Amino acid sequence: MSLINDILNNEDFSKQDIVSLLAISEKDEQDLLTTKAYSVKEKYIGRKAFVRGLIEFSNQCKKNCLYCGIRSGNSKVARYTLTDEEILSAVSLAVNNRYNGIVLQSGEISNQSFTKRITELIRKIKKEGGEDFRITLSLGEQSYETYREWFEAGAQRYLLRIETSNEQLYKKIHPDNDLHSFETRLNCLKEIQKAGYQTGTGVMIGLPFQTLEDLADDLLFLKSMSIDMVGMGPYIEHSDTPLYQEKENLLPLMERFNLSLRMISVLRLLMPFINIASTTALQSIFPMGREKGLKCGANILMPNLTPGKYRGSYLLYENKACIDEDADECLDCLDKRVQMVGEKIDYENFGDSKHYFNRYNPVS
């Protein structure tokens, strides 16, 4: 107990400190960490969360990541792409519910007509939601020119998970070819920053072969890259993927869940001003998982606005939450859930990453 106390009183954390925090197994020690992280969140962000509506607009993907349920090699998936009308009606649902932004996510598709379609779509979404409406893109690896084109069209934020900062581990969970290169992923992340976006990345937690040292390095990577937003959550195995064969070599689900909460807390202590998402993967393991994430230091929720009939086809992992609900049901239940943990949703502010503005106007 005193070791954890001592570490939490440190100004900065060494890699070894982080490993010790991630290794916590006693409940009272986990509580100490959570309390400290929540006090930092309260101080710099407040007892609140921001929401963005998630639109999973296509499950087409040219990649074949070994862990992902919608990988191109999974022929059991019914592929879909939303029409502009379907996307815009999800946007209007967001607007009617006072959400001031959406996340547009799909598998990885890259060609000229896709680039143009997204550019046009960004303009249409701005018409529907207003000039200030926040658009976050999560559309994978693209060229610098494409990132710039979408930024100029009006998207303000981009999410591209690095998945793991350990190149060797990255190689173990992706096919060994040019389409799945760690170096390209890292370069894309840098180009997203250079293009001007509030930049988000993240990792999966509890992957086979992953150590606590790897996870500590992931957190230090996020800090060294001066990332503005983070989405990270537990790895959840999917039986139609090659990585499923490693299922005997995983931490039990609840341990992955608690480790994910500790990752969120340590990250909040390392980077007080960034936005941290409480992910659906947390909710998929434990019904109040996302709300627990908020109490551990996360401040962003991304309720699903994908039309109900497509949700069952966007299964990156199994037992995903809310796939039998329709968008308006998720909207209804969100406020109540957040109130249950003593927080509020902030509908008045955009919830831009404060860290992003600090990057451009350093405080000291």
Task: Please report, as ranges, the residues that interact with ligand FES according to CB under 6 A.
Answer: 303, 322, 325, 329-330, 333-334
Q: What is the DSSP string of 206-262?
A: S-TT--HHHHHHHHHHHHHTT-SEEE-EE----TTSGGGGGGGGS--HHHHHHHHHH
Q: Kind and range of the H or E element at 55?
A: strand 53-58
Among ligand FES, ligand 5AD, ligand SF4, none, partner that 71 touches (CB below 5 to 8 angstroms by kind): ligand SF4
Q: By CB under 6 A, tell whether 65 contacts ligand SF4.
A: yes
Which x/- pattern, by CB under 6 A, does the window 226-255 give for ligand SF4?
A: ------------------------------
d(CA 160, CA 158): 7
* Minimum gap (Å) between residue 301 Cβ and ligand FES: 9
d(CA 124, CA 61): 24
d(CA 7, CA 33): 10
* Minimum gap (Å) between residue 298 Cβ and ligand 5AD: 16
Q: Are the C-beta atoms of residues 94 and 312 closer than 8 Å to each other?
A: no
DSSP state of 175: -
Among ligand FES, ligand 5AD, ligand SF4, none, partner that 107 touches (CB below 5 to 8 angstroms by kind): ligand SF4
d(CA 202, CA 232): 5
Q: Report how many residues bind ligand SF4 under the rule CB under 6 A.
A: 10
Among ligand FES, ligand 5AD, ligand SF4, none, partner that 333 touches (CB below 5 to 8 angstroms by kind): ligand FES
Residues near 81 by beta carbon (within 8 Å), at least 6 away in sequence = 57, 58, 60, 106
Among ligand FES, ligand SF4, ligand 5AD, none, partner that 295 touches (CB below 5 to 8 angstroms by kind): none
Among ligand FES, ligand 5AD, ligand SF4, none, partner that 235 touches (CB below 5 to 8 angstroms by kind): ligand 5AD
* Minimum gap (Å) between residue 324 Cβ and ligand SF4: 22
Residue 281 or 345 with smaller CB distance to ligand 5AD: 281
With tokens 């929720």, the residue in question is 301
Among ligand FES, ligand 5AD, ligand SF4, none, partner that 63 touches (CB below 5 to 8 angstroms by kind): ligand SF4
Tokens standing for 22?
């991630």
Give the Å distances, CA to CA, from 228 to 19, 39, 159, 327: 23, 20, 10, 28
Q: By CB under 6 A, tell whether 121 contacts ligand SF4.
A: no
Which x/- pattern, by CB under 6 A, does the window 139-158 give for ligand SF4?
A: -x------------------
Residue 134 or 161 with smaller CB distance to ligand SF4: 161
The interface region with ligand SF4, picked from 37-45, 59-67, 213-221, 282-290 by CB under 6 A, is 59-67
* Minimum gap (Å) between residue 315 Cβ and ligand 5AD: 9
Q: Kind and range of the H or E element at 290?
A: helix 289-295
d(CA 238, CA 242): 9
CA 167 to chain centre: 20
Which x/- pattern, by CB under 6 A, does the window 302-331 give for ligand SF4?
A: --------------x---------------
Q: Contact residues for ligand 5AD (CB under 6 A)?
A: 67-68, 161, 163, 204, 235-236, 238, 281, 316-317
